[in-house]
Structure 1
């Protein structure tokens, strides 16, 4: 992003005259792509040249120059043959009913997935009136609200100015919330405190919005109209509604996320606000205020959604022909893991060989029954280096080939102290293991000193160990006590899966006392 860093620069820009301030190269590239909508985009530039407002012209360049990835995607649910399937999460009374309904469809149709049906690029459809209104209202809020006085122009551009939060439909949320929340300033004890302002706005959102897990299978992030109609959604919707309401008032609010939890299934997104000391304080839109919100699971990676292109992102560096894993294919995310947890840089020998034409390797966490890429590493010779990884986590170095995760080395543990421990299964030194659960539980002894177990009586459980793939060892039917497996290779990751489950069970190791250690 171009930066206005001094009054001298501003004066020199003004002195050049409105027609001598050339658009940056990234803006010119967007204009070339915009085809029939080019006139609308050029009208925005011309408007601010004619008004002589250099800062607003620079803000327009920020939005236009970073518009390449900004879009709204319309999805459809299809079966393995590509046939469209009608599915509405609100047709089901709760999450379990929805999941059961999904399973019924898959029993009849086979595997079903959401696919992009139509991708609407912003630069192809956005109007000059929409952009000009967004810019003018953002500047007005920045200039008049005391809690925004500490923001630099760069912070304003990144955390107040953008007209969208994710891939939701384009709507004028800024005008709506400026009117809806006009009372906030007069309600505050300290109007210069952005954190207090966030609390007031978030309490307002909490009064009518609620989290609903059915929206895990809602294919797009909701826009303002849909959120106001349904008044519920998943965590991405919660971060979006907070961003709409708060950025409308020039509160510097953002969305951070982890693509995959490191010690459980699913992913998560949440909000953060920049206080007067430029510290970042997390909260959850529509649920928990700054100072009250805690993240409950382990973080391998945390990224921040940005509007501007991040040159350090993998998407900005990749070769044109290179295919990237989900979540790493966007160039508008910034790694902020070290702001949240202790991290380590590690080097790994790629012991499994390197496929032809491979530029990057990936580091994966185990989530919902799969190893999933959460970051990348540059390959140097036969080694890969990965930066800023959360500690106390199981990882798998891997390649991404034909949309598949391929092991590049042994699975590892990055310990709490930052040490790398390779887990290489030892079939010569086999052990007997006694298992009490498929996931982390708080175990206790009964009055007869027998450890409590957490199995469904009569269910069949399969034990796997990791050796470049999940290798089946044995099956057992659960009774009243623990499950005991003999002749098990030592020094491995294990995975105990109930027959018919959704593969949410966690991998584990066995410590020197024979206890399950969860990862």
Structure 2
């Protein structure tokens, strides 16, 4: 969320917002005055209002769109086209993200979105708006489920002509013609009166389309309806693609999001669908629609994107736009945390004595979540006489309070975590006492599946090449937490053939295995590499041979979830007295020879404990007890996350 593009975006919004009262958020907004001011800027829109004078619902819909026009714009120009070209090329399935980026750089140079131009929606031609209104009402009125979509939901989640800041183009008719026939077989069924039923039918069909997922193209403007053809990008693009399809068919659909994942450094977006009763469902990983209260994941706040501006938030902020943190200046969202969390969402109270800066009751205090070494606001409140209270917060997430002044966030509390069970608050304040710690990685391994996929995996020995007679040497019982896990054996039987067999549903995810005939040996046994090949089923980069190439950052990823193995023909029977193995990984373990620096949080600042260059796969530090920590690799990589050290282990938040 906090990036150069977002800053550019907000500045340009302010430049192009021509209605001063709307931009500043001062005072009450009178809808009739808004309409008058917009029409003064674009007289064509007055003709649109006149066109629908005799149709009450369409007139209200037009007014809804026009009242919100000042808050939207498009980013256009060559730089935006080059940015979008990445998604088009990657959507072909012919190139990796890196190859796409290299190709774009060779053709156009580096993408600079600051050079894009802004086209405010206040300049929209009347014909564009009329076409959108007619198609939106057509699908709302003709589809059997339309009669169970309330007008308010229609306005927010079917009617809008855009999602956010994508280049504008007509999209409804093309997408309608492409996807509406999918529902012909169920349209006459009684169940088709429920948008939820037809949504599941549609998802079952769409799920056959391969979506090319990547988060490597950076953050820029929304791509637009071309995503329906390109089907590539990250979770935001996935959500946008489905919004275009569902809205083109008259199904109320939108995007819910976490400003920051509760256990990660980035935002997360996904779709919601409204059923015939207006209840919210989300699309689970398996492609099924589930009630939002069953939503997985660690979270603190969840919001729902709306087309209209949330006037209650604007009024509550009581500040000019420039004095409000950028992501809250133009609040096109509503808080839906309690829809998802139910009773797990608590009222969070932070006593004033826990604030290390004086904060007046007129100020806005932001509840912030961590992203790398920064903090991003996810909610806001005004301080009370005795405390600062935030409604509807789910626990289990590290948070911190800040105020926004002089264009930057100023921390006013130490980090803390809300206990979701008891409602108690634990503060990471550190102490004068210190303790010795051993660090093995810089990012939590359990947000990725690779280490867990080794649990249940087995190392086997045999004197038959087909392993029909074999002995189990060792079974992995816990997910490995370091780059090199060492197993010492008391085995007295020699074997010519040795291998690692992945567990059920583990895809045989392993990066490196080495067998030794003595616990003291430093030279691994050598042999001919054998295993289950991926052949044409794999990507050509994750073959079983990677397991014995001496590189812990290449790996095996078997094309089937079960049945994969990688081994060695040693050429002669050998004793196996030691095994060293590395799980498949994304290079977040401590690397020998890299430069690391450890920090702890104190009074809103990250204090350095010092740099180290490890001679093995671990680091030793002395730190204040109870402190929140952060390990940075100055040599390579970007995945890093806050953690604490307890019971001899790193616990990531």
Q: TM-score range by the shorter chain?
A: 0.7 to 0.9
Aligned to 1:518: 652
**What's the CA shift string for 1:228-275, capped at 9, x where partnerless?**
564423322222221111112110111111121121122121101011
Tell me the secondary structure at the aligned position of residue 312 of structure 1: helix
The residue correspondences of 1:12-411 to structure 2 (distance < 5 A) are 25-38=30-43, 40-49=44-53, 52-74=54-76, 89=86, 93-96=95-98, 114-115=113-114, 117-124=116-123, 126-188=124-186, 190-208=191-209, 210-213=211-214, 216-217=217-218, 219-224=220-225, 226-228=226-228, 230-283=230-283, 288-291=287-290, 297-314=297-314, 317-320=317-320, 322-341=322-341, 342-348=344-350, 349=352, 351-354=355-358, 359-381=363-385, 383-411=387-415
1:97 to partner: Cα distance: 5.9
In structure 2, C-alpha distance between the alignment counterparts of 1:71 and 1:182, rounded to whole Å? 29
1:148 to partner: Cα distance: 2.2
Aligned to 1:473: 609
Tell me the secondary structure at the aligned position of residue 589 of structure 2: coil
In structure 2, C-alpha distance between the alignment counterparts of 1:495 and 1:36, rounded to whole Å? 51
**Contact 2:228–2:244 (CA under 8 A) maintained in structure 1:** no
In structure 2, C-alpha distance between the alignment counterparts of 1:492 and 1:470, rounded to whole Å? 11
In structure 2, C-alpha distance between the alignment counterparts of 1:276 and 1:199, rounded to whole Å? 13
**Contact 2:364–2:381 (CA under 8 A) maintained in structure 1:** yes
In structure 2, C-alpha distance between the alignment counterparts of 1:133 and 1:75, rounded to whole Å? 24
**What's the CA shift string for 1:326-345, capped at 9, x where partnerless?**
42222211111122232222
Change (3 A) 1:99 1:127: closer
Change (3 A) 1:88 1:155: closer
In structure 2, C-alpha distance between the alignment counterparts of 1:99 and 1:456, rounded to whole Å? 27
In structure 1, C-alpha distance between the alignment counterparts of 2:639 and 2:404, rounded to whole Å? 23
Aligned to 2:487: 447
In structure 2, C-alpha distance between the alignment counterparts of 1:404 and 1:96, rounded to whole Å? 34
Change (3 A) 1:183 1:32: same
With structure 1 as the length reference, what TM-score do the two structures score? Answer: 0.81
In structure 1, C-alpha distance between the alignment counterparts of 2:321 and 2:307, rounded to whole Å? 24
**Contact 1:184–1:197 (CA under 8 A) maintained in structure 2:** no
1:289 to partner: Cα distance: 4.3
In structure 2, C-alpha distance between the alignment counterparts of 1:147 and 1:490, rounded to whole Å? 59
1:180 to partner: Cα distance: 1.8
In structure 2, C-alpha distance between the alignment counterparts of 1:502 and 1:447, rounded to whole Å? 29
In structure 1, C-alpha distance between the alignment counterparts of 2:178 and 2:152, rounded to whole Å? 27
**What's the CA shift string for 1:351-405, capped at 9, x where partnerless?**
2224799721111111133211212121235743222222101111112223322
Structure 1 residue runs of 5 or longer lacking an equivalent are 1-23, 79-84
In structure 1, C-alpha distance between the alignment counterparts of 2:633 and 2:247, rounded to whole Å? 46
**Equivalent pairs, count:** 476
Aligned to 2:549: none
Change (3 A) 1:279 1:404: same
**Contact 2:84–2:223 (CA under 8 A) maintained in structure 1:** no
In structure 2, C-alpha distance between the alignment counterparts of 1:333 and 1:280, rounded to whole Å? 15
Structure 2 residue runs of 5 or longer lacking an equivalent are 1-28, 446-478, 490-579, 583-587
Change (3 A) 1:36 1:87: closer
Change (3 A) 1:502 1:402: farther
In structure 2, C-alpha distance between the alignment counterparts of 1:26 and 1:254, rounded to whole Å? 24
Question: Is it true that 1:500 corresponds to 2:635 in the alignment?
Answer: yes
**What's the CA shift string for 1:61-108, capped at 9, x where partnerless?**
111122221221348979xxxxxx99964689534567899999xxx9
1:177 to partner: Cα distance: 2.1
In structure 1, C-alpha distance between the alignment counterparts of 2:437 and 2:48, rounded to whole Å? 68
Change (3 A) 1:384 1:103: farther
**Contact 1:26–1:66 (CA under 8 A) maintained in structure 2:** no
**Contact 1:463–1:473 (CA under 8 A) maintained in structure 2:** yes
**Contact 1:282–1:291 (CA under 8 A) maintained in structure 2:** yes
Change (3 A) 1:460 1:215: closer
In structure 1, C-alpha distance between the alignment counterparts of 2:609 and 2:227, rounded to whole Å? 48
With structure 2 as the length reference, what TM-score do the two structures score? Answer: 0.65
Aligned to 1:9: none
Tell me the secondary structure at the aligned position of residue 182 of structure 1: helix
Change (3 A) 1:310 1:36: closer
1:184 to partner: Cα distance: 2.9
Larger radius of gyration: 2
Tell me the secondary structure at the aligned position of residue 217 of structure 1: coil
1:183 to partner: Cα distance: 1.3
In structure 2, C-alpha distance between the alignment counterparts of 1:119 and 1:473, rounded to whole Å? 46
